[in-house]
Amino acid sequence: MRNVHFLSTLVAVLFFVGCKSTYLVGGNRSITYSVNADLPADTSIVNYYTPFKTAMEGEMNREIGFSEKFLNKSRTEPEFLIGNFFADALLEIGKKVDPTVEISFSTKGGIRSELKKGPVTVGSLFELMPFENTITILEMKGSDLLILANFIANTGGQPIGGFVMTIKNNQVANLMLNGKTIDPEKSYKLVTYDYLANGGDNVKGLNNPLNRINTPILVREGLIEYVEQLTKENKKINTQLDGRITIIQ
């Protein structure tokens, strides 16, 4: 990966140095200046940041993969394409950290954009996950995994990978992992990101893990590497709706 972590900081820096705001503190006097398009830019600042801006735009526009279809986002459907893509990528990222990881979990609200059909750029994955969230591995009891499953069911489905569930009346009707039901006394390893592991989005079931691994891997950096690896293997993104979450009447 080329300078992706550096660009995260650069985006914020350019925002501030690119502003045209001018103000003056004069003792106890307050002076208000109008900030609008008529205010001339400071050419010394513009000349300073322009090379960085050009480099950033070049990296953001760099094509790293190809999606064979439009990956949509949904707040109402239990399963949707960008959710499946994100969960599958998260699972592969987690397995690189710990090959025994079996499950991935995210929330609908954590996925911030859709993915267009066609070339996939670094910038499109920044839009998908713009936050500084990092990959987290949780080892948890089956009883806590069932609590998480009930949260997923009660909220109408969330992006998951590695297991299959059926929801009825906002409750778990069936939950299978590798063709087997969840054993409340057994331990399982799940990959998510720190915001959710810390209780974000009011997620239930993740707050009492048997073990927790906090990694420095930014989720979007993992996504970029995941897509780049697909391209190296001459594969395109071809995410499907596979029935991993189903709501029955």
Q: How far is CA 46 from CA 22, 38, 41, 52, in A?
A: 15, 16, 7, 10
In the chain, which ranges are continuous DSSP H helix? 4-17, 43-60, 81-97, 122-128, 142-154, 194-197, 219-232
Q: Domain 64-248 belongs to what topology?
A: 5'-nucleotidase;  domain 2 (3.90.780)
Q: Which of the 8 DSSP states describes residue 74? A: -
Give the tens place of pLDDT for each residue, 63-94. Answer: 999 999 999 999 999 999 999 999 999 999 99
Domain map (residue ranges) of the chain:
4-60, 64-248
Element containing residue 103 per DSSP (H, E):
strand 103-105
pLDDT along the chain (249 residues), means of 10: 52 46 55 70 66 64 96 96 98 98 96 96 94 96 97 97 96 94 97 97 96 97 97 97 95
Question: Cα separation of 40 and 57, whole Å?
Answer: 23
The pLDDT value recorded for residue 230 is 97
Q: At a CB cut-off of 8 Å and minimum separation 6, what does 125 contact?
A: 64, 220, 223, 224, 227
Work out the number of other CB atoms within 10 angstroms of the CB of residue 24: 9
The pLDDT value recorded for residue 26 is 54
Radius of gyration, alpha carbons of the chain = 22
Packed helices 219-232 and 81-97: angle between N→C axes, nearest 10 degrees: 90
